[in-house]
Amino acid sequence: MDDSTNDDAENLRSQEPLAVDADFQRCIELAPIAVVIADQEARILFANPQACRQTGYSREELLQLRIGALFPLEYQEQGRAEFGQLVRTGTLNVQQPVVSKSGERGWVSVSATKLKDGQFLGYISDISSLKAAQDELLLKESAIANSISGVAIVDLATQSLVYANDSFLRIWGYERDEDVLGRSPLEFVRDPAFVQSVMETVLATGKWAGELTAVRADGSFADVEVFGAAIRDRSGQPAFMVGTIHDITDRKRIESSLQSSEERLRRFIDQVPVGVAMLDRQMRYLACSRRWLSDARLEGRDITGESHYDLFPDVSPEIRDCHARCLSGEPAKFDRITLTHTDGSTQHLHCEMHPWFAAPDEIGGIVLFSEDVTERFVAEQQTASLREQLAHTSRVGTMGELAAGLAHELNQPLMAVHMYAHTAVSLRKRSDGGAELEQKVDEALEKVAEQSLRAGEIVQRMRAFIGKRQPQLAECRVNDLVSDVLGLLKSPLTTGSIEVRLELTDPLPMVRADAIQIQQVLVNLIQNAIDAMSTGDGRPRNLHLRTGQEDGAVIVSVADNGPGLSEDARQKVFDPFHSTKPSGMGLGLPICRTLVEAHGGTIVARSCDGGGAVFEFRLPVLTKGATNA
């Protein structure tokens, strides 16, 4: 068709349209559809009022146009081809777009025929609403056909599939519509009786939703989620059932895996020997283990959703502050928390808290761990008490062995006291005194005081060593402890003709220890060295005491030049009741090891290359850089 206007308007007006009967003319004028007459050049010769209403042009304006002016530009070429077909064949039936005078687009249905005088009569119906409905329907059909969800329609009268989209075919493992259409939906499920009841439910209620097991083309199973609804006919009766199907096989497998994993985790948490609780940011319980309930004396209660502070209103401000810091990302640990319950019992717990994350940068709450260490704490207290009692017994035994030497050492200052006191008395009886005599008396009395203090120090040192007392940890100078022990053992060292060589590193870092217990270790080691060198072979007897520092520890070694240790004796020397002495009980060295290890240290024994034995123990330093000033 040509979209240009008539160039010769006068020529157009001179042409008369087809003469028609007056009644027929009135029918055309009143017709509800547009009627147009055009010549072989597609020029409009006649247009009824409906044509004017549909196009927005007046009759006079239409008579100035060709048919092509009513169609969009992009349709011009196809329009000319269709008009050529009308000229050749004499008839035309098409649907095509149109443009009104205002530019509004629409669709029309055109039926045209060739008249006897070569003119063409066309009937033009506005189908814009129908076309829009068709487009919408096509869009919906396309959406259904290409949906990732399976869609199927069942004819309830024949109970057979009449439609299935590609996703339905994919879920069931088929390739063509022909493989499923016309078949009963009962053939595609594991439980046909259940699906039959579903169809009855849809007939009765109009809808159904649930899960079922599908049987694929290869015989395998798939879990599907189905939403079914009835489609009613004009009489309101259910005629079809449409089902929307989602393949949930992977989801069900993941859910099953998660459920199994959660169950395994729950069993694991319930079996671990510590209590575990998970709380949100408001310190409300999300989950907890049986051991947690047991430790908290809440057996049999469901505390999910309850506040930790409601359950434990006496939580200290220190622990509440730790909770707040943990919610900011800082873990915390308490070696021992002591709880006193309403029944008067006391419980000791080891506790830890760690944040858990709901997202990479979002803390969701706190995980609490607790371990009831009441029995362990009581056992440690009892062990410490027994260890101190055994150590005290050992010290008393040691002093018993040193009794003769101590008596001799005490005898010296006591004899001196007696002598100086007797001298003072004698001098006071002389009558030829004077200032010189008084001076001699004063000197004698000073000597009495000096020697009595010496005797008192010996007794005090002995009482401090053997006294029964609780362990008292304090900062200690190891070199001072060595010196004190040498003073305590002065008599046996002198009696045994032991030459003592000291190699004390000064300064040394401080250690935190019970001074009496470390002195006891030194006394036992030195007394053992003295005994080892009491062989009577006439060789010089050398005792080498050394202190030093290495790898964050203070080292103390006691070496002798006695017969040394065999390999078998070295391996058993710290075993209880093993002794190389004929009358020994074999408890001294085991007690030494217990005391050293209680201070976080270690003790070893070895033989010297030139003969003799070395016993060496290490104690951790108190603070790096703190020295024996």
Per-residue confidence (pLDDT) for residue 338, from 0 to 100: 76
Same topology between domain 9-133 and domain 472-629: no
The amino acid that residue 626 corresponds to is: A
How far apart are alpha carbons 203 and 159 in whole angstroms?
A: 12
CB 241 within 8 A of CB 228: yes
Q: What's this model's pTM, rounded to 2 decimal places?
A: 0.38
Question: For residue 497, how many other CB atoms are within 10 A of its CB?
Answer: 9
* DSSP SS3 for 519: helix
Look up the CATH superfamily of 146-252. Answer: PAS domain (3.30.450.20)
Per-residue confidence (pLDDT) for residue 325, from 0 to 100: 92
Which residues in the chain land under pLDDT 50? 1-16, 18-19, 404-405, 467, 583, 625-629
Domain limits of the chain? Answer: 9-133, 146-252, 272-372, 472-629
Tokens of 382: 């009892």
User: What is the separation, in whole angstroms, between the first and last Cα of the chain?
Assistant: 117
**48 φ/ψ angles, rounded to the nearest 5 degrees:** -80, 170
Reply yes or no on domain 472-629 having CATH 3.30.565.10: yes
Tokens of 493: 């060292």
CB 376 within 8 A of CB 570: no
Look up the CATH superfamily of 9-133. Answer: PAS domain (3.30.450.20)
Distances in Å between the alpha carbon of 620 and those of 269, 384, 553, 555, 616? 37, 20, 4, 9, 14
CATH code of the domain occupying 272-372: 3.30.450.20
Q: How many helices (H) and strands (E) in the chain?
A: 20, 22
